[in-house]
Amino acid sequence: MQKSKPKYLFAGLGTMGFPMAGHLSKNPNLDLYVFNRTSSVSAKWVKRYSGTQLISLNPCSVKFDGVITCLKDDASISSVLLKSGLLESIKAKAFIVDHSTTSLNLVSTISHYPDILDKKISFFDAPVSGGEVGAINGLLSIMLGGPKTKLSKVKLVLEAYSKSITHIGPSGHGQLTKMVNQLCIASLVQGLSEAIALGQKSNLNMDKVLKAISGGAAQSWQMDNRFKTMSAGDFDFGFAVNLMIKDLKIALKHSQSLDLDFDSSKLILKKYNQLSKSGHGSLDTSSLIKLLHK
């Protein structure tokens, strides 16, 4: 008798989750189910990719071998994972991988949740880096926190949309690494904004400037992928300002608990809040340069 394929659920089909689930659907050795709280999005997804749409997680007759989530904040994750009835549909000794950027408190809550412990479900906090482009191209970098002994079965899923998977340490270490990542990105975007503004105000040929400096010490992913769009004033894509605000708040709250005072990151957060209050919260984080063009 032919062995049945493992069943996986991907919940959260936003800017990142939509293409990530798309890559996973191309694996012929699994059955993929998708859920999005706005059902029209999951309906659109199943028209493009191979998989089964779930309108609701409770009741759900499917028993999942693994669940992957990619949602916007703590409240969304808590609602889908802990309050929807989904846990009843996850098999014992299955796994949950959360690609969202969340607080350490939520990671602890999920890891120690009675139903998860009772069913011996392995939980991994697995935030990603690489942005929308990385998700579309299946080239994300994944920073993983969770039980090392259970890595092999989750890597088969993660490899579908990643170029690198790094197990940092136990539960929570994925989110801690994402904090480091976001602090780096925020500072890079601020520096790039000031550099481009200086070049433009000085009437430099910005294409030549990019050619001259991108091969040297100033080179970065942000320069390679955002220099031209920032110079052109194109921000209607990518990682939203409002999401960066959330991420920086998480990182700065944790830094305070360690008696670390990050003045520059606090200032950048203030600037992102200014953008959001001006109606630009959905623009890419590189829109920070708009504040220098007033």
Q: What is the mean pLDDT of the chain?
A: 96
Identify whether 63 is part of a domain: yes
Confidence of residue 293 (pLDDT cuts 50, 70, 90): confident
d(CA 89, CA 86): 5
Please check whether residues 156 and 183 belong to one and the same domain. Answer: no
Asked if 178 is an active-site residue, the reply is yes
Percent of the chain with pLDDT over 90: 93
> Residue 59: is the preceding peptide bond cis (ω within 30°)?
yes
Please check whether residues 131 and 222 belong to one and the same domain. Answer: no
Please check whether residues 213 and 264 belong to one and the same domain. Answer: yes
Check pLDDT > 80 for residue 115.
Answer: yes
pLDDT tens digits, 231-275 = 999 999 889 999 999 999 999 999 999 999 999 999 999 999 999
**Which of these three, 169, 184, 204, is where a domain ends?**
169
Phi, psi of 55 (to 5 degrees): -80, -35
Identify whether 102 is part of a domain: yes
d(CA 221, CA 140): 13
Q: Which of 93, 120, 155, 178 is catalytic?
A: 178
d(CA 127, CA 68): 11
Pairing mode, if any, of strands 31-35 and 7-11? Answer: parallel
Please check whether residues 33 and 150 belong to one and the same domain. Answer: yes
In this prediction, residue 263 carries a pLDDT of 97
Please check whether residues 92 and 205 belong to one and the same domain. Answer: no
In this prediction, residue 153 carries a pLDDT of 86
In this prediction, residue 87 carries a pLDDT of 95
In this prediction, residue 59 carries a pLDDT of 73
DSSP-derived secondary structure for 75-143: HHHIIIIISSSGGGGEEEEEEEEE-S---HHHHHHHHT-HHHHHTT-EEEE--EESHHHHHHHT-EEEE
pLDDT tens digits, 120-131 = 999 999 999 998
**Which of these three, 116, 143, 169, is where a domain ends?**
169
Q: What is the CATH number of the domain that holds 287?
A: 1.10.1040.10
In this prediction, residue 2 carries a pLDDT of 59
In this prediction, residue 3 carries a pLDDT of 74
Please check whether residues 217 and 248 belong to one and the same domain. Answer: yes
d(CA 43, CA 36): 9
**Which of these three, 131, 150, 169, is where a domain ends?**
169
Enclosing domain of residue 231: 176-292
Please check whether residues 165 and 284 belong to one and the same domain. Answer: no
Please check whether residues 152 and 40 belong to one and the same domain. Answer: yes
Check pLDDT > 90 for residue 109.
Answer: yes
One-letter amino acid at 209 equals V
Q: What is the CATH number of the domain that holds 85?
A: 3.40.50.720
d(CA 243, CA 272): 10
Please check whether residues 134 and 193 belong to one and the same domain. Answer: no
According to DSSP, the residues that pair with 54 across neighbouring strands are 35
pLDDT tens digits, 163-208 = 999 999 999 999 999 999 999 999 999 999 999 999 999 999 999 9
Query: How many residues in the chain?
Result: 294
Please check whether residues 163 and 189 belong to one and the same domain. Answer: no
In this prediction, residue 166 carries a pLDDT of 97
Please check whether residues 11 and 113 belong to one and the same domain. Answer: yes
Cβ proximity of 164 and 142 under 8 Å: yes
Check pLDDT > 70 for residue 1.
Answer: no
The number of distinct structural domains making up the chain is: 2
